[in-house]
Structure 1
């Protein structure tokens, strides 16, 4: 934030002296914070290891992780120093919170603003408040004192809000910087753990004897134990310390925000703007005001003339734009009309060609269908003729079967007659003729069934065979 310009020269003090005083009073006194943390951290370390040596603390884990190596002693001592720092810091914040809870130092703000001259009485009230609290300063008292010094030194009350924000940023930066010591400890503790790891592994490898593995196993395990124990101890204590540092830092930031709100309630809108502080410069101020008034008037005239010029230019541009828009619309309309006409002609030609191609394809398909239908009719006629021939052949076969039946009846009659006559030789001849006749009839039937399409030849053969059979039978 940019700090506002101020005149710090009252009560015989120079500007450098006022700045030095303000910097000294900008933050609560913490000169001895590190000293107190070292003192209390040392006392805690002595008490802890005294309890371990006297047997008050006999937990095996505590003895293993805190007393096995000198690096573990250093880690524990640094942890107690950091913890003491945070404890002292937290106690200081509790004291400031208690003083802040007593309420506002300045009297209740009236409805009307007061002149800057009231800062003297307000400063006396602040000094009385400090005497009642044995000279203990807080963020609130230091910042209130700096604000009153700013106003008494000629600062503008209208710039007081900016000055308060500047002081708030200063306090937050200073408070954050005070945690540099504990942040260093938070960084150093894990580094010591890693150092213990390196030392332990080095010790284990140095005591390793490949020729006597059994004898050197104890030394190897002792070195590895140092390596892992120091790392585990450092990480665990660092986590605990980091947690307490987070709680303390959040507590301090919350208190700084409360101080900001209280100062805003006490000082914002309390003082009148002091316009007549520099009475000796009134003539110069009037001259400057007149000059500025003339400059403003000339700027207003230039602005009006420039506005008129711009209005005329914009009007001409609007007219030109309207003309161009109309011409563009006509051009677009004519272009669209010609494009649509060309598209319609192309579509018409395409439809005509498509219709012609469809007619040709339909004619070709019709001719193909007619030829196929004619071929099918001819095939049906041929099939009908073949069926007729087969029917006639079947009829001839039926007639032959009936004649065969008649011949069988005649044969049976002849056999009966032969039986009555009793002539054996005649009987044998008759049987031979009958067998011959039956064989001829059987062969004729097979030939007719095989070749049904030659009925005339079959009929002639059957007639010849019949005559032959009858002749044989007669013989």
Structure 2
């Protein structure tokens, strides 16, 4: 009978814990949906919210687990005020006791008093502890072993309390693991996106992968710290409630059954059962302690393994980045050296071609200038010979005229005026020829200046033509270098 009663109480508490966990999961999902629905409004005050909560699916999973844990803790914390109120209400105040009454009568009065006074506190630890004690005494029809049963109920409540936080401890353990998983995924994405041939274009993808790696770790560690401290506070408060319930039961309930202290000595069978139960409890405690130490060692080993894996991944990433950057920079340096050599060779060829053409232009211009000078000299010699002949002819004519005038002066007296007029005309003609000769001399200077200007214009034309050919050669060389560079880059 008592075992069935205790099993029923344990089953009821297990169902309540299961319902609390289920409601915690549902509320956690609702909180997650509400948080992501309100996240765009948070961006006004915290622009980096999207980066830490929506950049990768690991961040969604981390936030979901965090809100499930917070909702579960909230459900547990919601019941604490009612527990405190039940402890402070003095539920056994006003209970009439009869020292001569039996345990069964005392239990009946206690049950009726609880149904009358504690209607609103039926689901609290205190009322359920009192109900379990009433069921125990009613089933055994005796108060023997009540203190031991109270200790058993306290240990069972502590065990259920510890089991009730199993989901939260699992979430607290899983959130950092998700962060490390995001780190591994981000580092893997960064390594996969490294392309040494196109390092500048792939640098954005590499940094995005590294951002995912470190953002997920930072988010998971921050949320796990919040969850751990919240769990510590709520669990400590609930453990304090259980301790207060145990103290209340030992102080108030044991005094309701004074006959239990006057019982005769225990039988050998009962002593053997108690020793076996104590041995079982010690073995169970040692087994639980061993299991907890093994679990702690496994967690430490897992943490060390994750730390070593993360260190190795970081070292591999550093080596890969250094090797990729070194290889890419070496390739760029070689390509720049080759392009520079080709450009210098093309420029030297173009400069040589330009120098040759300039030399040819200068030689041609010198030849043309020499030919012009020769032609001008020949023209000057021709004009000079013609002027000399004209002067000699006029001198001969004047000599002949003088001889004729001397010989026939008497015959020319009548024609003196005509001769004088003729001489005047000849002098005018001579003056005109002199002016013509002066103009010829001035034209010679003009021709020299024109020749110099013509030479300068010809030289400028040659230089312009040579520069145009040089620019065409340079454009062709640059086009050839661009084609080769694009071919190498592809």
TM-score by length of 2: 0.50
In the alignment, the residues of structure 2 paired with residue 71 and residue 182 of structure 1 have an alpha-carbon distance, to the nearest angstrom, of: 19
2:16 is paired with a residue of what secondary structure? coil
Structure 1 residue 56: deviation in Å? 5.9
Q: Equivalents in 2 of 1:24, 1:141: separation in Å?
A: 16
Deviations 1:203-246 (CA, angstroms, capped at 9, x unpaired): 11111101111111111101111001101110111001101000
Residues of 2 paired with 1:181 and 1:237: CA distance? 16
Determine if contact 2:187/2:213 at 8 Å carries over to the other structure: yes
Q: CA deviation at 1:45?
A: 1.3
5+ unaligned residues in a row in structure 1: which ranges?
1-7, 9-14, 278-284, 289-475
Q: List aligned pairs for 1:78-157, cutoff 5 A.
A: 78-105=65-92, 107=94, 112=99, 114-116=101-103, 117-130=105-118, 132-133=119-120, 136-154=122-140, 156-157=142-143
Distance apart, 1:93 and its partner CA: 1.7
Q: Conserved in 1, the CA contact under 8 Å of 2:106 and 2:256? A: no
1:208-219 mapped onto 2 (5 Å cutoff) = 208-219=194-205
Deviation at 1:26, TM superposition (A): 5.8
Corresponding residue SS for 2:226: helix
2:33 is the counterpart of 1:36: no
Question: CA-to-partner distance for each residue in 1:96-136, whole Å, 9 max, x for gaps?
Answer: 22222211236457694642122112112222334x31x73
Q: In the comparison of the two structures, how many residue pairs are matched?
A: 265
Determine helix, strand or coil for the equivalent of 1:32: helix
Measured at CA, do residues 266 and 140 of structure 1 come closer, stay the same or move farther in structure 2, by a change above 3 Å?
Answer: same
Cα drift, residue 55 of structure 1: 6.1
Residues in 1 aligned to 2:138 and 2:4: alpha-carbon distance in whole angstroms:
14
RMSD: 2.9
Which residue of 221, 224, 232 maps to 1:235?
Answer: 221
Within the candidate set 255, 266, 273, 2:259 is matched to 273
The gaps in structure 2 that reach 5 residues or longer are: 268-490
Distance across 2 between alignment mates of 1:97 and 1:275: 31
How far has the Cα of 1:28 moved from its partner?
Answer: 9.1
Check 1:227–1:26 CA distance in 2 against 1; reply closer, same or farther (3 A cut). closer
| Contact 2:182 2:212 (C-alpha < 8 Å) held by counterparts | yes
Q: Does 1:246 align with 2:224?
A: no
Matched, 1:220 2:198: no
2:146 aligned residue: 160
Relative to structure 2, which stretch is displaced further, 43-52 or 155-164? 155-164
Verify: 1:183 aligned to 2:169, yes or no. yes
Normalising by structure 1, we get a TM-score of 0.51
In structure 2, the residue matched to 1:280 is none
TM-fit CA distance, 1:30: 2.8
Contact preservation (8 Å) 1:26, 1:139: no
In structure 1, C-alpha distance between the alignment counterparts of 2:261 and 2:39, rounded to whole Å: 72
Instruction: Supply the distance in 2 between the matched residues of 1:272 and 1:112 (Cα, whole angstroms).
Output: 7
Residues 274, 32 of structure 1: CA spacing in aligned structure 2 closer, same or farther, 3 A cutoff?
closer
> Deviations along 1:76-109, whole A, 9 cap, x unmatched?
1111111111111101122222222211236457
Please tell me whether the aligned partners of residues 144 and 263 of structure 1 are also in contact (alpha carbons under 8 angstroms).
yes
The answer on 1:172 being equivalent to 2:158 is yes
Distance in 1 (alpha carbons) for counterparts of 2:169 and 2:253: 36
Deviations 1:7-58 (A, max 9, x none): x3xxxxxx66434323335679333211221222122211211122356655
- C-alpha displacement at 1:195, in angstroms? 0.5
